[in-house]
Structure 1
Amino acid sequence: MSLLIVGATGTLGRQIARRALDEGHQVRCLVRSSKRAAFLKEWGAQLVPGDLCDPASLPPALEGVTAIIDAATARPTDSLSIRQVDWQGKVALIQAAKAAGVERFIFLSILDAEKYPQVPLMEIKRCTELFLAESGLNYTILRPCGFMQGLIGQYAVPILDKQAVWVTQQSAPIAYMDTQDVAKFAVRALSVPETEKNSFPIVGTKAWTAEEIIRLCERLSGQEAKVTRLPMNLLRTARRVARFFQWGWNLADRLAFAEVLATDKPLNASMETVYPVFGLNPEETTTLEAYLQDYFSRILKKLKELDYQATKTKNQKKKTSLRF
């Protein structure tokens, strides 16, 4: 199968590319910068130039492609807006895929997008789902709600560095999943007929609040977190201010996601019927405890090694100075 992965340099996209290559697929990656995507080429993927926001660049990239996995999304630091990338770009991609006769289209959306029309990214994902379903393509929609990888910078690193951990006053539980596990579902969907023209939640084993994650990090790191709580009114004000500047539009749209947390409604869903459809074993899904345990074990071991080397170097210098 000739597979095109869109968003392959992202946190999730790179795991999908790695998984697809490991399973023997012929993988192409749509990239704006070959330099930034060099690691994908080293893995064995073919890099094809293209940009979701440049519809004319898509048909050449789709020549000979039988399936697409779309994991692209605008980053908060991008100059392009969420609307440009996640709506206009996706519409162009779906239309180009239809014209090219692509046989399978796997789209990564967001869980419960239809419940938050006031949140730009959620509403755009909902609209994209509808557009894809009505396109005539043989699609599968996967709906994760949060990635464990994002928790490292949000919680683990600040706690280790004894810096403030910023959280909202309200904390909706979120069923985070390891991107490697999400990638398993995305690649498996290509070969499971039961996933065709269907949508599935793809979530972790348990929904966690910010407070629960902080307590887990404290226990695993042996350090106490310095927690700073952000009032929702402050975030709403920051969003309004950001909207005054073109460079802040994307940031403002991302800040709107805080409204999801303010509802206190869990971002979670039952996976009881999902695992059998995909033929995957739920026991092999990474838990948040195991993920963070592995991270802290590796980091703390490294810190001890660095401390040992620093102490050894200091003692050697001290001995040398005593000789003279």
Structure 2
Amino acid sequence: MTLLIVGATGTLGRQVARRAIDEGYKVRCLVRSPKKAAFLKEWGAELVRGDLCYPQTLEAALAGVTQVIDASTSRATDSLTIKQVDWDGKVALIQAAKAAGVERFIFFSILDADKYPNVPLMEIKRCTELFLAESGLNYTILRLAGFMQGLIGQYGIPILENQPVWVTGASSPVAYMDTQDIAKFALRALSVPETQKQTFPVVGTRAWSAEEIINICERLSGKDARVTRMPIGLLRGVQGLLRCFQWGWNVADRLAFTEVLASGKALNAPMDEVYTVFGLDKQQTATVENYLQEYFSRIMKKLKELDYEKNKTKKQKNKKTPFKQSSKVNSQ
């Protein structure tokens, strides 16, 4: 039995791959660049070159595969559009998995995708959920809210480096979850019969607003944040302008997601029943406070070490040797 992981080099996908390998699964990863995915091979995964946007590459990748976990999504740095990857690519993958006789298919969606028809990524996720449900595959859909890992780049690093922290509109509280915990649910879904042909929210222990996250980061770092608020009206204007140019469509689609984060509506859902179905312990799920505390403890310790080494080197350079002193005396 082989498990194919799509998007295994991403923030979430690599955690799914790591856990699957640790749990003894025979893991195969669909990758566009084997060189960039070399760490997956070192972990013990089989690498197969392929691309969702080139459906002809999927048949070989799915040969002998019984289970698929799809953690892929378009990236901000990609030249490809959201539609190309998150719709056309997903449709091709689902169809190829069906043709290959895949027994289980795990798909990551976004919480409340059906409530934002004008946000391209949300609407595409909603449509993909429907397409997967009607495909005939034995699926499980996990609806996520946000990754704790994203908090570091959005809040942690800017505050440490005294850079602006951008906050948009009325900040929507988000129930962030550690990708390691999300990986637990994905792998457990493969073996729990009650998850078959079902959809579940998979979110953190509580929802956090941008202001609350900033307060935690300030307290743990000992630094004040430079908060800059971006009016949602301005972002809408920029988004509309970008849609006037073909090269700006992809950026405009991504900016549209700010409507979700600035709506003021919490991205959160009850999880007690989900934990029961999956047989997981909520007490073992990482919290935002603990996650950020661990990060700042490591980074502050490292900064102190670097500062100590810097001062030590500086003192050594300033210290005069006996030879220099005697030379100076003789010259007098």
TM-score band by shorter chain is: over 0.9
Aligned Cα root-mean-square deviation (Å): 1.0
Q: Distance in 2 between matches of 1:249 and 1:322?
A: 69
Give the match for residue 56 of structure 1: 56
Equivalent residue letter for 2:307: D
Give the secondary structure class of the aligned counterpart of 1:166: strand
Q: How does 1:126-145 map to 2 (within 5 A)?
A: 126-145=126-145
1:99 and 2:115 are equivalent in the alignment: no
Matches within 5 A, 1:1-324: 1-320=1-320, 324=324
Unaligned runs of 5+ in 1: none
User: SS of the residue aligned with 1:28?
Assistant: strand
Alpha-carbon distance, 1:321 to partner: 6.2
* Change beyond 3 A, Cα 1:55–1:100: same
In 2 relative to 1, CA 287–322 (structure 1 residues): closer, same or farther, beyond 3 Å?
Answer: farther
TM norm structure 1:
0.98
- The structure with the largest alpha-carbon Rg is 2
Are the equivalent residues in 2 in contact too, given 1:77–1:250 (CA < 8 A)?
A: no
**Separation in 2 of the partners of 1:198 and 1:48?**
29
With 253-262 and 172-181 compared, the bigger mean Cα shift is at: 253-262
- Measure how far apart 1:170 and its partner are: 1.2
Aligned partners of 1:79 and 1:247 also within 8 Å: no
Which residue identity is paired with 1:214?
A: I
SS of the residue aligned with 2:190? helix
Kindly tell me: are residues 323 and 230 of structure 1, through their superposed partners in 2, closer, same or farther at Cα, counting changes over 3 Å? Answer: farther
SS at match of 2:53: coil
What is the DSSP-based 3-state SS (H/G/I as helix, E as strand, rest coil) of the residue aligned with 1:11?
A: coil
C-alpha separation in 2, matches of 1:259 and 1:48: 37
User: For each residue in 1:51-90, what CA deviation from the matched residue of structure 2 results, as whole angstroms up to 9, or x when unmatched?
Assistant: 1010111011100000000010001121110001000100
* Contact 2:6 2:71 (8 Å CA) reproduced: yes
Alpha-carbon shift at residue 323 of structure 1 (Å): 5.7
CA–CA separation in structure 2 for the residues paired with 1:41 and 1:93? 22
Q: CA 1:78–1:322 in structure 2 vs 1: closer, same or farther (change >3 Å)? A: farther
Q: Is the 8 A contact 2:5 2:13 kept in 1?
A: yes
Contact 1:148 1:179 in 2 (8 A): yes
Which amino acid is the alignment partner of residue 100 of structure 1? A
Equivalent residues of 1:4, 1:29 under 8 A apart: yes
Aligned equivalents of 2:251 and 2:35: distance in 1? 26
Deviation at 1:244, TM superposition (A): 3.3
How far apart are 1:260 and its partner, in Å? Answer: 1.0
Q: Secondary structure at the match of 1:9?
A: coil
Residue type at the aligned position of 2:29: C
Aligned-pair CA distance for 1:198: 0.1
- How much has 1:249 moved relative to structure 2? 2.2
- 1:115, 1:24 → 2: CA distance? 39
Contact 1:77 1:251 in 2 (8 A): no
- The 8 Å contact of residues 169 and 263 in structure 2, kept in 1 or not, is answered as no
Does structure 2 conserve the Cα–Cα contact (< 8 Å) formed by 1:110 and 1:143? yes
Does the 8 A contact of 1:78 with 1:250 survive in 2? Answer: no
Residue-by-residue CA offset, 1:108-158 (whole Å, 9 max, x unaligned): 000010011010000000000000000000000000110000110000000
What amino acid is the match of 2:306? Answer: L
In 2: Cα distance, 1:242 partner to 1:276 partner? 46
Report if the CA contact (8 A) 2:4-2:68 is conserved: yes
- 3-state SS of the aligned residue for 1:167? strand
Give the length in aligned residue pairs. Answer: 324
Q: Which amino acid aligns with 1:295?
A: Y
Change in CA separation of 1:273 and 1:83 when aligned onto 2, cut-off 3 Å:
same
Q: CA deviation at 1:239?
A: 1.4
User: Which has the larger displacement, 243-252 or 34-43?
Assistant: 243-252
Q: Give the Cα–Cα distance (whole angstroms) in 2 for the partners of residues 22 and 147 of structure 1.
A: 22
The alignment's TM-score, normalised by the length of structure 2, stands at: 0.96
